Structure 1
């Protein structure tokens, strides 16, 4: 048996899934949003870091040894 979905049916099913996630799986949504925000922050930090001078490997190990 083969199932065919048209665009409207696909959109309807995806909408139902998103609504179910929002209503019943708030923790899943929260985790997805937090992960996305962390990725955006990391991306911005990488871009910002590339505009400045690079830190030497020795400098990194010096900072790590201080802790």
Structure 2
């Protein structure tokens, strides 16, 4: 059930990415650039979750080019 796992991760990763983007835009509009690091951390976490979801889905999907057992 790799797609179910991917959907579960996306259920949290996508809202986190959207929240990080909104926070970053608000910080930039308010001229509070030192606070941008907080939104960057949120964005990095959301990206990491998304990449983990993608990697898990690709590794478990047949014909996806995942682990073929040929050492490459």
* TM-score bin (small chain): 0.3 to 0.5
Larger Rg: 1
TM-score, length basis structure 2: 0.39
- RCO (CA 8 Å, sep 6+): is it higher in 1 or 2? 2
TM-score, length basis structure 1: 0.41
